[in-house]
Amino acid sequence: MTFEILEQYLYSRGRTEPNVDLDAHILADEDKLARIAGTWRDRKEEIMLVVGAQMAKIEVYLVNKAPPVEVTVMRQALAELMSVLQLFAKYESEYERREKKTGAEPEPQASNAETQGEQPVL
């Protein structure tokens, strides 16, 4: 399969050229960065479990079944999965760095009606 044929195949399957640097886009959008950092902070174990499960499948295939010509590709797949975890950690670190730089904003206080279980008057 030549590059042009692979390229045509990928485009026919919905692959498009990215028109933005997604890393820069995430870092520029404070809300997205905060959500990603919060997801990693709150669900780190679950994310690592899912990625680890896929890595384990690749490792088993690599050790038990992969022909020599696929070893490099399988190792690259493992590296790419690890990079997903590293990106989560990177975004969390950047968010925390920005929070320390600007000072953590206090969370909004609930009104007395909300804390007592009553409906607030609008």
Average pLDDT, the chain: 84
Residue 10 lies in a domain: no
> Considering only CA atoms, which of 23, 42, 32, 10 is closest in space to residue 90?
23
- Count up the domains in the chain and report the number: 1
The residue among 30, 19, 20 whose CA lies nearest residue 91 is: 30
pLDDT of residue 21: 83
| Residue 108 counted as domain residue | no
Assigned domain for 96 exists: yes
Residue ranges of the chain with pLDDT lower than 70?
1-3, 18-20, 104-122
Convert 57-81 to b/e letters by CB count within 10 Å (16 or more is b). ebbeebeeebeeeeeeebeebeeee
Q: Indicate whether 42 belongs to any domain.
A: yes
pLDDT in tens, 42-63: 999 999 999 999 999 999 999 9
Q: What is the pTM of this model?
A: 0.68
| 68, part of any domain | yes
Hunting for tokens 């960065």 — which residue is that? 33
Which residue range forms the structural domain that includes residue 76? 18-100
Decide if 6 is inside a domain. no
Residue 35 domain-assigned (yes or no): yes
Q: What is the rounded distance in angstroms from the CA atom of residue 26 to the CA atom of residue 43? A: 19
Task: Give the Cα separation of 90 and 41 in Å (integer).
Answer: 12
